Chains A and B, each alone.
Chain A
Amino acid sequence: MNKSIRNLIFTWSIILLSIVLTIIPLPDLINSFRLPWLMMTVIYFSIFNVALIGVLSAWLSGLILDLMAGGLMGENAMILSIISYLSYRFRFQIRVYPIWQIMVVVLLFLSLGEVLSLWIQGVSGTMNLSVIAWINISIAVIIWPIFMGFIQKMESVFLE
């Protein structure tokens, strides 16, 4: 199969998988604890495998999430494209960091995403500050090494 087509299919399956993980029905007990999977995926690709994704695909994936989750159309799209651009800009520095420093950077990006989202909510009417969103971000940072390992494994299986 053509390499670029294979890349495209691989990238969008991972993106769709993370969207599905974000909106899949879960038991009540853990329903609130939904990690920002799509943002994590976009950050990973924009730092470690820049050929697979760009600002436009980040925007498109965010738009799909907005439509399916029932938010304001364009909210996640804008946040994801900004995060993707920033991660790309700093990718050379981030790539050589040890894993704990990468986790700190991911924490910063995810927090920036949450702050932007709060800002958009504030402008459009109802801002709700909740602790759970920040707990989700910290869980996402803690499992980041596992997440990264998983996608790297996937890449080694499907791309080479």
Chain B
Amino acid sequence: MTLKTTRSNNYGIAVDNISVTYSNARLALYNASCYVEPGTITGLVGPNGGGKSTLFKSIMGFLFPSQGHVHIDGISVEKAQKQQLMAYVPQADEVDWNFPISVFDVVMMGRYGHMNMFRIPSRQDRRIVMESLERVGMSEFRDRQIGELSGGQKKRAFLARALAQEGKVILLDEPFTGVDVKTEKRIITLLMQLRDESHTILVSTHDLSSISTFCDRVILLNQTILAAGTTEETFTEDNLAMTFGGLPISSSSDKSNLTPEAIMAHQPGHPFVSSTNIQPSYGQPGREQPAKRELNQDLDT
């Protein structure tokens, strides 16, 4: 592991020419290549159905691309996972909230990879779980069944699991959906702390208002990578119009990327793309949108 010493334990994600086709022959992602710089917060931005979750799942090895590879700076994803380098915070609708399990037990599952095969928690495992809960402000809810939490608490519980896993690379799929402004701010603060502790963080979102407040870099995605770079250079009005405008960039005849808000976003004056200098403010008109957009979640594959 010479890489480790030269890179001081920082891990970037190299996505090399990934294509994913679903069983109904729909092309979800094609020829996607990008590099997520180590020790940064990178925002993955694109419309619903644009392939954000698909890219995440390809990176994590949950689905197998029809072509292409993903590497975590020289080592395979599988190896990185065995070394507990990669943590994943799922979207809310990927979790069975009726499962008979407490918040504490969910966070403890983050430690399983560090335990022996019988998964008997050591004193250290317990301490790390408690610290992780403390860090996201969920200690007092640790004995709750997970379905008894609010939207923001649910996110924080799974974020605590990622912390307990002590992964160096953290992927968060739509962490701000169904979350109140206070929790969003809290999660962002935590992500920035984690970045300063040299974690590599990839966040997918279709909420553009907060991107420039915490993302160092941005990757724009609509079925393929359209642009990638620093937030300053990449997160421009032109690039966003190209990403959300539903331009006929796809070779397939599928129109599912033309979601109502994508078409709306193409019109001038839309709150999502109206300003290039988006302020670090919360509670903009755009904040009201997520509830409505959740209806389109099923398109977001």
A interacts with B: no
B residues within 8 Å of A by Cβ?
none
